[in-house]
Structure 1
Amino acid sequence: MALPSSAPLYKDVFGKTGEIGDLVQNFDFSKINPTETNSNGFLPIDLAPSFGKLNKESLQVLDDHLKIMIAGNLKFLGRVPEKSWNAVLGNMMQNDLLEPRDGGVFRADKFKGSINGFKFDGSPDASIVQAWFNNLISDDDVLKSTKIDVEVLARIVAQIGAILENFETFFAKDEYHEQALIDIGVLRFPDVDQPYFKVYRIKLAAWSDSSRNLIHQEDTNGITGEFNSRVFQPRASIIEHLTSATFQKAAATADALFDD
């Protein structure tokens, strides 16, 4: 699908960023190097779009309240230079045209390689990590749109093997070390199947912990994962009282989202 990269509202919010799934699929995880100070080789994305089934044609038949919400949300987000998770969520919470549909989701978990009988040796069965990741996210739409599938996780896991080897080579044995892998924020647009905005964040990091005691030393390594999400729907009590001119202008602005 052609992205609306030339639409002013899109550019103000996302710049030249493409859809999240393509960004993840095309990222070279082998660039991650934990031995570099403040390594920025991981995949950090403050905010990228996910359109689901929304395109130029389906947008035209979308409910007008959803169009108002799309235009209003992009306009407000475009005014905020910072697109961090807290900034975006705070902006959406303060937008009168939106209202939270749920109380939000936060899940965090650790995949422990040694405990799970899994070795990050560069060629493992990534399906084990995939099952853990799917359970962490527990949202089929997010899993589909981010395209963090078994092939991507296989590349991540292979790089974790190299990261852990670097931990052992360059750092003291009895320390805790962590290296970011992914930190992405996503704005999932409304479509005919999911008539709401969903904003979410996924963080993955590789870690290694060697703890000493009088009896033995235990080496543990794995992946830390975090998932946050919040769903927003149109605030009908506000939208229904917009003037006819404002209503029509906002709807037309949303209709032009995918214009070249």
Structure 2
Amino acid sequence: MKFSAPVLFLFAVVYASGVANAGILELDKISDVIINARKVWNGNSVDDLMNSDRIPYFCKMAVNYGDLNNATIKTLDEDLQVIIAATINLFKKKYGNSGRMEFVDYVHALKSNPFLKTEITDNIYRGEYEDFHEYDSQRQQLAKNEYDLITTWIKDTLIKDDEALKDTTFNKIDFKNIVAATNAAFDHFQRFEGMLVNKPYVQSAIVDLSVIRYPDSKQSYFKLFRIQIFATKTSSSDPVRDVQSTSGVRGSFESIVFRPQNLVIDGLNAVVREKALKTAQSMFSDS
């Protein structure tokens, strides 16, 4: 009996490792990452945080399982269970070969999965910049409205994706922290302006979060996204003209959706399909 390449792929990733566990790469839930970030904020001053090398909101990769749990995974559409099984085992294989995975590695891994497909319209990249400050008397006036300005810019200009915003688990506390960190960075730029005179552009990272969102009963696809936000300062190298120095916020949002490749999934034989379902349904079992 001959098998197609996708079937052999699933044999390799499922049979080679037996039944996979969701904690395979020990990815933190994004909700836990955000909660821990809030705890760090509560235990440190904004200035101390921004003077350290720590990015206030950071993770190389976190996971959001949506409404999936040990019970709901068993009632999930079987095609979605198949792509989950293939994907978590593929991640295990990729991670085992390298010992580390960055955002781009997850992108490559998902793109190499024959049970998934992505369309051009499912790939989004946005890079945005907003000038919020001039180093003059207007600054105090602008600061009063800064929370609304920055949060609106993040939500409506940079991300523009209600699903992704929800999946970050951000709330008002987090946006206040992001605004506070941005202001602290602006203060730092101004305080050390003399040392930065020969640097026409400087930046300080505020947010760098990567998230993989699993399919669930409400969302029939994987979504991989990354959010980066920086406080920035641009200035003239001419001290006489440095009144034109400005500070602002720069960010990028990258999102890729991976949907089931149903034609390939439908071609699986019963044995391989059953093995994949068992793998998916055990993903929340204790290791």
When the two structures are superposed, what TM-score results if normalisation uses the length of structure 1?
A: 0.85
CA distance in structure 2 between the partners assigned to 1:190 and 1:63 by the alignment: 10
2:279 to 242, 248, 253: 253
CA contact (8 A) 1:47 1:84 kept: yes
CA contact (8 A) 1:130 1:150 kept: no
CA contact (8 A) 2:20 2:280 kept: no
Name which one, 1 or 2, has greater alpha-carbon Rg: 2
CA contact (8 A) 2:133 2:142 kept: no
Deviation per CA, 1:169-199: give whole Å up to 9, x if none: 3332353211111211111010111111101
CA contact (8 A) 1:24 1:148 kept: yes
CA distance in structure 2 between the partners assigned to 1:141 and 1:103 by the alignment: 13
CA distance in structure 2 between the partners assigned to 1:164 and 1:216 by the alignment: 15
Matched with 1:3 is none
Deviation per CA, 1:229-250: give whole Å up to 9, x if none: 1111111222222221110011
Matched with 1:130 is 151
Matched with 1:4 is none
Q: More helix per residue: 1 or 2?
A: 2
Matched with 1:65 is 79
2:31 to 10, 21, 26: 21
CA distance in structure 2 between the partners assigned to 1:234 and 1:247 by the alignment: 14
Matched with 2:130 is 111
CA distance in structure 1 between the partners assigned to 2:20 and 2:114 by the alignment: 22
SS of 2:173's partner is helix
Count matched residues.
248
Deviates more, 1:95-104 or 1:163-172: 163-172
Pairwise mapping of residues 8-87 of structure 1 onto structure 2 (< 5 A)?
8-13=20-25, 15=26, 17-27=27-37, 28=40, 30=46, 32-34=49-51, 39-81=53-95, 82-87=100-105
Q: Which runs of 5+ in 1 are unaligned?
A: 1-6
Q: CA deviation at 1:203?
A: 0.6
SS of 1:249's partner is helix
SS of 2:197's partner is coil
Deviation per CA, 1:93-141: give whole Å up to 9, x if none: 11111111444001111121127x7769987641221111111211111
Q: Which runs of 5+ in 2 are unaligned?
A: 1-18
CA distance in structure 2 between the partners assigned to 1:158 and 1:121 by the alignment: 14
CA distance in structure 2 between the partners assigned to 1:72 and 1:24 by the alignment: 28
CA contact (8 A) 2:22 2:284 kept: no
Question: Is 1:173 aligned with 2:197?
Answer: yes
Judged with a 3 Å threshold, the aligned counterparts in structure 2 of structure 1 residues 126 and 147 are, in CA distance, closer, same or farther, namely farther
2:112 to 94, 102, 120: 94
Matched with 2:269 is 243
CA contact (8 A) 1:184 1:202 kept: yes
SS of 2:225's partner is strand
CA contact (8 A) 2:62 2:212 kept: yes
Identity %, equivalent residues:
25
Pairwise mapping of residues 136-175 of structure 1 onto structure 2 (< 5 A)?
136-170=158-192, 171-173=195-197, 175=199
CA distance in structure 2 between the partners assigned to 1:121 and 1:25 by the alignment: 29
Question: Is 1:222 aligned with 2:240?
Answer: no
Judged with a 3 Å threshold, the aligned counterparts in structure 2 of structure 1 residues 216 and 239 are, in CA distance, closer, same or farther, namely closer
When the two structures are superposed, what TM-score results if normalisation uses the length of structure 2?
A: 0.77
